[in-house]
Amino acid sequence: MTGAITWEFVTAIGGVLGVLLGLWRYLEARIIRAELAAQEIRKDLEQRLALLNSTISAVQLMSAEKYASRDVVKETEERIVSELERMRDSLDRLSARVDNVMHSRGPVKQLGA
Please, what's the b/e burial string for 99-111 (b: 16 or more CB within 10 A of its CB; e: otherwise)?
A: eeeeeeeeeeeee
What is the span of the domain harbouring residue 11? 7-67
Distances in whole angstroms, Cα of residue 22 to Cα of each of 15, 26, 28, 32, 35 = 10, 6, 10, 15, 20
| Residues 54, 94 share a domain | no
- What tens-digit pLDDT sequence spans the chain (113 residues)? 567 889 999 999 999 999 999 999 999 999 999 999 999 999 999 999 999 999 999 999 988 888 878 888 899 999 999 999 999 999 989 988 888 887 787 666 677 65
- Do 33 and 61 share a structural domain? yes
Same domain, 32 and 50: yes
pTM of the full structure: 0.48
Residues 61 and 80 in one domain: no
76, 29: one domain: no
